[in-house]
Amino acid sequence: MEKNAKIYVAGHRGLVGGSIVRCLKEKGYTNIITRTHKELDLLNQAAVNEFFATEKPEYVFLAAAHVGGIGANSTYPADFIYQNMVIGFNVVEAARVNGVKKLMNLGSTCIYPKMAEQPIKEESLLTGPLEPTNDAYALAKISVIKLCTAYNKQHGTNFLSVMPTNLYGLGDNYELQGSHVFPAMIRKFHEAKASGEDVVHLWGDGSPLREFLYAGDLADAVVYLMENKNAEDLRTPTGDFVNVGTGRECTIKELAETVEDVVYADVRKDGRRCRMEWDPSKPNGTPRKLCDVTRLNALGWKAKVDVREGVEISYDDFLHGDVRK
């Protein structure tokens, strides 16, 4: 991508989109265009077509999505499948019609079967049943991957897709009813410390294994791929996409212990700690989910931020950043 190329980042106010915009600016890109939901409703195909026809972006990062944790996915499956599928299809089709040079579609590793062999390879797509608590979201994301791959085959487009693992980072969503486990834990431990209760109630039994990727690292990865690779470089028998992760995992219990350690660091000298109460009646989700990042590493990119550093960055952002609380 040329530094003055017109680049559209869809979903720039979200965790991923915001990280991509920051990464692009840091790398010297000067012609980034964005639109808020009020300015452009991505569920409206006519509006999306008009925007692309008028602005003529050369490169597109599709980071717009309707997202949430286990609770939100289980409660509102219709919203998750409909909105994510329509957003993806509208943007990808408009990009094709208007001759976009390259598009980066942001997916999720929830596309893989619940009991996929670990670490999860890209070839595992559609080889077994999905995790029931987020199958609606996963089906929408799978559909957009397949659409990009089909367009590359039929229309000669250059549409890439990446499947990032569990994300966190600057500007995350810390609302307890709609957030993911990483930011939810930060808020829960902070509120316990602030209230003096020093007890946190957590879902499940803490045993699931998870991989966590800093959103700034993801942004660096997708910009690197857009700068250096094409769809054919990401091609697998199941689609033109690649996993993005760290290749490292921890249990949810270990994550909770790390968050507690960081949040309570300033009062540790007073002997304050936080007791964790686990609720096994709540769903654990997939028992284990670790990306195989062999292909990504071979393409020349590796993650930099580990979980401990990531918790420290996120907690500082929660305290001092412009976050949704």
Q: Which residues are annotated as a binding site for NADP(+)?
A: 11-17, 106-109, 141, 164-167, 180
Residue 114 to residue 270: CA distance in whole angstroms: 43
Query: Which two structure tokens, joined as six digits, stand for 189?
Result: 């431990």
CA 313 from centroid of its chain's CA atoms: 17
Q: Which residues contact 127 (CB under 8 A, 6 or more apart)?
A: 113, 116
Contacts 24+ apart (CB under 8 A), 45-53: 45/90, 45/93, 45/94, 48/90, 48/91, 48/94, 49/94, 49/97, 51/94, 52/94, 52/95, 52/97, 52/98, 52/100, 53/98
Q: Helix 252-263 crosses helix 181-195 at what angle (to 10 degrees)?
A: 40
For this structure, is 137 an active site residue?
A: yes
Catalytic residue among 8, 59, 112, 137: 137
Residue-by-residue DSSP string for 64-104: ------HHHHHH-HHHHHHHHHHHHHHHHHHHHHTT-SEEE
Cis peptide before 113 (omega within 30 of 0): no
Length of the chain measured in residues = 325
Residues with catalytic roles: 137
